[in-house]
Structure 1
């Protein structure tokens, strides 16, 4: 039989309303009483009834998160940080890796208080009349509050930094898809940087991985090494691609950064934990999570506010994989 608030109240010797306030982290409950109630709830493995909470406070205290995958390190890192940020506000997170439309319909049934969606803006336009606040991550959309990670600017900064070190023969190894806005932004950022910085873009500077995982990076790096074009520096399109590039470079008997410099997209802590700590570019993952949750909660509290696009500034985290050349 499931544990109820009445059970906790009886054991704690307090009223039902005091238990309810304590479980919702209300400042109206004395800290010692609150800790006693929470301790009993943990010991009894109490699970709140979402529907009942909704009836009492008009809030389910849950956030739905629509995510493309948890198989990529950067995405799993960001969604973990999202969960941490959501829990700081005494909310719980429900994660779905289903298609956006399927996930949002499920979240409506759960009566979540808000929804975070990574990309997929084109998939949710038929939900524009939903009463549940939606915030988009890694895209720009006039219908919804959204966070632009400026991926093209990030790659531009990577090229600019490499040029400042004396590099002029560069290569971009990434998924060159024009049907994926995020990947196309990176490709465009690299191309724009070459043109504006006078580095003469040529076809051999672009290697299409046709995917974003380590083996795609490994195969693409081998293709580059076999092509006869030898850049002095490489910009990689993702964390996993960077892993594959390092492996292929090592197998070819080349050293990073002595023989070739490397910058990887995805500003996550794991870039510094590879066998050689990699210089990374992008918006820091903790900033993405914090900004997304703060934006969603703002629109939960003020649903009539006009949606805005918040553009976050990419940063370079300099580590050990780039060196200056003459």
Structure 2
């Protein structure tokens, strides 16, 4: 569907001039008005949305953020930081937690300029999503690992983040580590760290979780009730969501960090300083840097010699705090 942006570009006039011509307002020469009306007719322009409203929408530059089922503190921090970074560039942001197909269609109807969509690497676009993508004229950024044709992509090195956490624990002298989380690339990073730093590997030290299933307390109790020479001296928890359940578990059973074991958590958000009595050591991308990189990919032209659609990786950082100490 043609918009007044298309008409203004074809007529080589401003949005305001198009709006006045279409609404039969003064301030536009007769020849210019006739030319604008002719172009509107050729482009099959629809007056279903008033031209004045379209002009206001066009002048208010915006970025749509699609974050299906957005939850957790990281979601809020990331959206706030993307708004701050976008605002510094003259854009505002709109956020939708609807499924990507519906959110994309909504943003397209509201004529947002660009879209960033948070989707994991396993995400597959629907046919309706791809149809809307064909009609969308702005830049598209896939955040989180998903791949989409003719779109920028910003992945997060989650595997490297967990690997760095394992390295930190190994440098403190830990040799018996346990992993609590889902079977994702984070577990691969944990396993690679165990092998590279020649730490003890025991399959029972991999405690897999499912957010829709009960937390595996019995598995954890079995690990922690092993003889001292066998029990883990440190845990790596793969997400904020699993951390909350893990914290509930250790409080319920009277364990203390770092007196009983050290703890590293994925998700570098400042609340990790206050979840327990001691600040938690974290790994993960810096939210401010991640948001700045995302907005830059959407708004900046590709450097000379580079592909139009860029594929970038956000590096992670380790913040060592009081939850990790050398084993006793």
Matched, 1:77 2:67: no
Q: 2:155 aligns with which of 148, 151, 154?
A: 148
Q: 2:54 aligns with which of 43, 51, 58?
A: 51
Q: Could you tell me how far 1:68 is from its partner in structure 2?
A: 2.5
- Flag the 1:221–1:83 CA change in 2: closer, same or farther, 3 A: farther
Distance (whole Å) between structure 2 residues aligned to residue 160 and residue 168 of structure 1: 11
Distance (whole Å) between structure 1 residues aligned to residue 272 and residue 233 of structure 2: 20
3-state SS in 1 of match to 2:265 = strand
Q: How does 1:4-153 map to 2 (within 5 A)?
A: 51-54=54-57, 60-120=60-120, 122-123=124-125, 126=130, 129=134, 130-139=136-145, 141=147, 143=149, 144-153=151-160
3-state SS in 2 of match to 1:190 = helix
Q: Could you tell me how far 1:249 is from its partner in structure 2?
A: 1.5
Contact 1:155/1:190 (8 A) holds in 2: yes
Q: How does 1:234-313 map to 2 (within 5 A)?
A: 234-275=235-276, 276-298=278-300, 306-313=308-315
3-state SS in 2 of match to 1:122 = coil
Distance (whole Å) between structure 2 residues aligned to residue 221 and residue 167 of structure 1: 23
Distance (whole Å) between structure 1 residues aligned to residue 108 and residue 148 of structure 2: 22
Query: Which structure has the larger Rg?
Result: 2
Distance (whole Å) between structure 1 residues aligned to residue 216 and residue 286 of structure 2: 26
Q: TM-score when scaled to structure 1?
A: 0.73
Distance (whole Å) between structure 2 residues aligned to residue 284 and residue 123 of structure 1: 28
Contact 1:156/1:193 (8 A) holds in 2: yes
Contact 1:221/1:249 (8 A) holds in 2: no
Q: TM-score when scaled to structure 2?
A: 0.73
Distance (whole Å) between structure 1 residues aligned to residue 67 and residue 155 of structure 2: 16
Deviates more, 1:124-133 or 1:306-315: 124-133
TM-superposition CA deviations, 1:92-132 (whole Å, max 9, x none): 21111111111111111111100001125522672553322
Contact 1:140/1:309 (8 A) holds in 2: no
Aligned twin of 2:177 = 170
- CA root-mean-square deviation: 2.7
Distance (whole Å) between structure 1 residues aligned to residue 53 and residue 165 of structure 2: 46
- Flag the 1:166–1:63 CA change in 2: closer, same or farther, 3 A: same
Contact 1:133/1:300 (8 A) holds in 2: no
Distance (whole Å) between structure 2 residues aligned to residue 72 and residue 137 of structure 1: 16
Distance (whole Å) between structure 1 residues aligned to residue 301 and residue 100 of structure 2: 20
Distance (whole Å) between structure 2 residues aligned to residue 142 and residue 123 of structure 1: 8
3-state SS in 2 of match to 1:168 = coil
Unaligned runs of 5+ in 1: 1-16, 18-48, 177-183
Unaligned runs of 5+ in 2: 1-15, 17-51
**How many residues matched?**
264
Aligned twin of 1:317 = 319
Q: 1:224 aligns with which of 215, 220, 225?
A: 220
Q: Could you tell me how far 1:299 is from its partner in structure 2?
A: 5.2
Distance (whole Å) between structure 2 residues aligned to residue 112 and residue 308 of structure 1: 21
Aligned twin of 1:158 = 165
TM-superposition CA deviations, 1:55-83 (whole Å, max 9, x none): 6x5xx401110002333111222112112
